[in-house]
Chains A and B, each alone.
Chain A
């Protein structure tokens, strides 16, 4: 008759109060999405590394100015926007809605600035340097493909992030969304920032023109 007796309930259920490891559905869902997005970006970066190592004529075209200076500026802007995002999430958790919205708007501003500088960089490369996805003046044509492909997908993520943050700012300001939703959008924004921290060295820094 052993297994007809159910175990005492206290042993089989949690007894109340939030478990230290418990996260809500939205946050877990966002973490899982970021995990799969990590896989996608990793595959692209591995693919890029693969063709770069396999190409003896891989060009190293980026001069200190403008490319590296611009990319460094973009890095600083993106990192700063992560800081304002942290402040926004902090304010949201303290239920200071006005301050939170202000910081989210600042974060969006960082994203927009990033996009503007990045697009100017793209235009410069295409018009002045004659780099296209399938051709460049210096060597392996894949430089353009890798550059535009990777930074393009990242820029798409930044742009979607700006729109996403806009929705969050509007919803949190009008009390439709909770502080938790701001935090979840912050996860996404930091992830986009983190991806850039791989793209910056792998696309820009190791392709600096040799002296």
Chain B
């Protein structure tokens, strides 16, 4: 606990020189911003990829610039694979957890930095390298991998015989993800140590902001889940480079002109188990920080204490725990025993309970509040809406009998894009609009922000709602050309509609880019506490100095003391001393 003794002395240690301050910095705030910008770069790439394959889906015979004419099926698969991998790993995992978590977890618990600042810097740069290893796959002669973001063997394990991108491109995919796992493990370890060891005096667990709870539980999931994917990647790499057969069964034949592969003895199911044992916690790694941010923002702008704080913290833990018990629901069609499927189904449906508690409490927080519809608040409410919508379709998919026909259809695509993709993105936007004034000292433009919100909110539903129906009608994912299947041809107008909505929604994001970079320079000056928030980040200058706190922080109460009666301001900051309150009251 020696870290508490003299945090103020760290101020003197602020590094000089551009490189130590902004590039190889060990300051958690700089690293958080670095992660955020990495995610911004990644999401831009991922979004452009989605435009390309959406264009091909809507107009299968259209010559697309850069593709030497009409897009070939393997190019389509490469785009989908890279889109999914970039979005899940380098956006949804990086921005809410590593980005905002790095920046605000130490500040919100009253620490001067993370527990292991150098390790933190190494984690970022390993993630950075991992991203470019993945992007490098585009520039190999045979192109990017085509195995999807789940990279199922045996096709991902046997090399280019399984398709052009399954050669060097797939190897780069595995290396990139293994590096990403390593970096994420170290980040998770850092977050947990920081939360346990570095809290300020008075910051008991039940006084931590719910955003901190979100990052903390996510870090526990990351610590336990990424190790499994790392092991799976090691085995897959052995299969690819040392010609072992962990994931390849005997007698695999690719065409009648080639003999069966020499591999024998393995099972693709092993990868599915390992991957989804990681994969299900991973979707919560994407969504839990967004839940925390949403809770934080909803309470702030409802000017009300969060409804059921303890229930919120415990339900985060419950969701985190259950996420390790449900991986089999991704594998209902793998031929598993119906009894196993039943158990996985019940456990999956059980996640509905803590999720419903959270939703109930979010609505309870809004109820009777003096709601301020700032852009951050709109995105937080949008998160709740998307979480409910996407969560409900999850209840359908959790039942094996319903999942069997819906598996690998656009229904699944729509489900997880709404609940884990767009909802988590809304959490990121809520966090960005909410904390931008703290990070950069200026507010973002609210008019542009609200326009951005309505375009994105409407766009999210317009893009993904039709996909539910298309999925029910039998449209399968990974089909490069739906017009080739007669029973899908009548869906062409829906494909056009979805693609046009995707273009418009994507163009709407330009408002965000513009708002962001314009506000960096021209935004209204924010001051210390523009939103009248209570948690510790609103007690220090914007942007915060190196070492965060000008004096050792001390905490006297929970984080959501809003709407306080009998006091000149309607909120009590966590670090307001009893003497200050008595003085103001008298």
Contacts and interface: CB of A to CB of B under 8 A. Distances in A.
29 contacts: A4-B572, A4-B581, A6-B557, A18-B1, A22-B1, A24-B197, A25-B3, A29-B119, A32-B189, A32-B192, A33-B189, A35-B224, A36-B188, A39-B231, A40-B228, A41-B231, A43-B227, A44-B234, A47-B231, A51-B266, A51-B267, A133-B242, A134-B244, A134-B263, A140-B265, A141-B244, A145-B238, A148-B242, A153-B234
Contacts of B192: 28, 32
Contacts of B170: none
B193 A28 contact: yes
A41 B2 CA distance: 34
Interface residues of B, number: 59
What 10 pairs between A and B have smallest CB-CB spacing? Answer: A145-B244, A39-B227, A43-B231, A134-B243, A40-B227, A133-B242, A6-B556, A140-B265, A6-B578, A32-B189
A91 interface: no
B223 A36 contact: yes
A120 interface: no
B223 A35 contact: yes
Interface residues of A, number: 43
Nearest to A28: B193
Interface in B1-17: 1-3
Nearest to B181: A40
Contacts of B270: 47, 50-51
A148 B237 CA distance: 13
Given A22-B1, A51-B266, A145-B238, A43 B232 contact: yes
Contacts, number: 144
- How would you classify the secondary structure of chain B's contact residues: helix, strand, loop or mixed? helix
Given A51-B267, A142-B244, A40 B230 contact: yes
Interface of A: 1, 3-7, 9, 12-13, 18-19, 22, 24-25, 28-29, 32-33, 35-41, 43-44, 47, 50-51, 54-55, 57, 133-134, 140-142, 144-145, 148-149, 153
Interface of B: 1-3, 115-116, 119, 185-186, 188-190, 192-193, 196-198, 201-202, 204, 223-228, 230-232, 234-235, 238-239, 242-246, 262-267, 270, 273-274, 277, 556-557, 561, 564-567, 572, 577-578, 581, 585
A52 to B, nearest CB: 9
A25 B202 contact: no
A33 B262 CA distance: 38
Given A3-B564, A28-B193, A47 B265 contact: no
Between B115, B119, B566, the greatest number of chain A beta carbons within 10 A of the residue's beta carbon is seen for B115
A165 B557 CA distance: 45
Contact of B204 (A12, A18, A33): A12
A145 B227 contact: no
A29 B115 contact: yes
Contacts of A39: 223-225, 227-228, 231
A24 B566 CA distance: 43
Nearest to A8: B578
- How would you classify the secondary structure of chain A's contact residues: helix, strand, loop or mixed? helix
A160 B565 CA distance: 60
A44 B193 CA distance: 26
Contact of B193 (A32, A37, A47): A32
Contacts of A28: 115, 192-193, 196-197
B228 A43 contact: yes
Contacts of A50: 267, 270, 273
A29 B185 CA distance: 11
B372 to A, nearest CB: 22
Contacts of B561: 3
Contact of A149 (B119, B186, B225, B234): B234
A183 to B, nearest CB: 16
B183 to A, nearest CB: 12
Contacts of B1: 18-19, 22
A1 B572 CA distance: 12
Nearest to B243: A134
Nearest to B235: A47
Contacts of A142: 244-246, 264-266
